[in-house]
Chain A
């Protein structure tokens, strides 16, 4: 089996990369994740597997990544610091590397109060930036927190998230800089609907030289309906959906809204492709993996550069 990060390879060759999100099931059936993998295969370079997203108990990201790896995809292991302390996080990094998983995305995680286990303790022993730094130390120096040496270094392409739309705006770039200084090789952003604000964030990042130091992948999510757009705007913290996007969704009949959502997404991807500081896109089609292939094709990103060589 190929144990290189396909995502890293695509990015380092200067190709515009495509990753997509894949949510594990609320159950133990491996076929659910394998079917989703089948839908994404050939359309993407890497598949992000979410880690109990929205704090709802699901199949573990590590197990789902391993299943996808066996099926020939290049998984991006999402890991949140909400549920595990530094002992467990580092242990899982070693385990993931041993299973051939070569990409990790280090995240804070949605707060436990939002999910189906609001009585759970939130661990938050490390924060996401510290976690990036810890993984880098394990990979590059073979040391864990506290300074002990590993007898075999894990191999990981390290990612972090950025939200260009959250407050305080003047501090967003400082935090991005910290994530890259900590060791992030690539950055996946929050869903972009407000391209103007994204572009001003990007130019601030470029001014600090950050776009040269890490690969920026712009996040996109196809809207399924006008209702979903309104919900995300009003209920999801740090989500910026301009009114004209919502009006556009409302302007088409219900049965055409999914199509319109894909159209908006393809337009966004096409515009992101034109920005030299954006090195790829991350498509988060929530419980709608079927849409990914369509978006990739329509945006002219098909076929993927390594799809027949992986």
Chain B
């Protein structure tokens, strides 16, 4: 999923300050799973903003709504029926959601309420971790299902570096050394010999070579 975290309320209040009628717009997908921008968080943020406005004697209207997905046009058009009275939308979608809404409503200011973080997984209640870079050329087969690009702090394809101690990364002992994980896992399958080969330099053109990426599937197009 795409993870995110809410921006500090003060930062949000500065960005919405010029506007009188604000729609706080949640998203029911990834950012709901990571408890940053789902229905519940949207209601809580809207309520906190209303309270702050009241305490500061500000005459603003703040209402909320949550779309199933902010990054898909078919869902975003649900805003057609409600958006007119608002002079700004505070989006709790990821960066893609914010931009999808902005593209659909070019005349309405769209303000990001989240910092979009990474592609990751839910490790435990309240804990999410980055595990994928979206590099466009998956190499997980070679590394026992653990990605050194996303999970090694130096993105080493021929690791581990000299700073791995007791299975922890030198950058931060909270980070498990991705290479220790790879070696332990390949060892279980008898696949350590795979690591005797030198992995050539990564082809980054699949990630950033052609500028912003696009997927075209003609079989899916009408």
Contacts and interface: CB of A to CB of B under 8 A. Distances in A.
B180 A178 contact: no
A166 B196 contact: no
B200 A130 contact: yes
B198 A126 contact: no
Contact of A125 (B166, B171, B192, B201): B201
Given A127-B156, A145-B201, A161 B162 contact: yes
Interface string B98-122: 0000000000000000000000000
A145 B160 CA distance: 23
A190 B196 contact: no
B170 interface: yes
Contact of B163 (A166, A168, A171): A166
Contact of B196 (A113, A133, A134, A174): A174
Given A124-B156, A175-B160, A178-B158, A167 B165 contact: yes
Contacts of B34: none
B201 A126 contact: yes
Contacts of B202: 125
A238 B195 contact: no
Given A111-B154, A167-B164, A178 B170 contact: no
A234 B204 CA distance: 37
Nearest to B199: A130
Nearest to A163: B162
A182 B198 contact: yes
A266 interface: no
Q: Mostly helix, strand, loop or mixed at chain B's interface?
A: loop
B155 interface: yes
Contact of B162 (A86, A166, A174): A166
B16 interface: no
A129 interface: yes
A181 interface: yes
Interface in B28-84: none
Chain A: interface residue count, which band?
20 to 34
A86 B203 CA distance: 11
A310 interface: no
Interface string A120-160: 00101111111001100000000001000000000000000
A178 B157 CA distance: 12
A261 B204 CA distance: 47
A111 B201 contact: no
Nearest to B148: A127
Given A130-B198, A181-B198, A237-B170, A108 B156 contact: yes
A168 B160 contact: yes
A127 B162 contact: no
Contacts of A177: 196
Contacts of B179: 168, 171
B180 A168 contact: yes
B6 interface: no
B167 interface: yes
B158 A238 contact: no
B140 interface: no
Contacts of A170: 183
A133 B192 CA distance: 21
B95 interface: no
B176 to A, nearest CB: 12
A181 B197 CA distance: 9
Contacts of B156: 108, 124, 127-128
Interface of B: 153-167, 170-171, 177, 179-180, 183, 192, 195-196, 198-202, 204
16 contacts: A82-B154, A122-B155, A125-B201, A125-B204, A126-B201, A127-B154, A127-B155, A128-B156, A129-B198, A134-B201, A162-B162, A167-B160, A167-B165, A168-B164, A171-B160, A181-B198
Given A127-B157, A168-B180, A178-B158, 9 more contacts: A111-B153, A122-B155, A127-B156, A128-B158, A130-B198, A167-B180, A174-B192, A190-B162, A238-B165
What are the 3 tightest A-B residue pairs by CB atom distance, in nearest-first order?
A: A163-B162, A237-B170, A237-B163
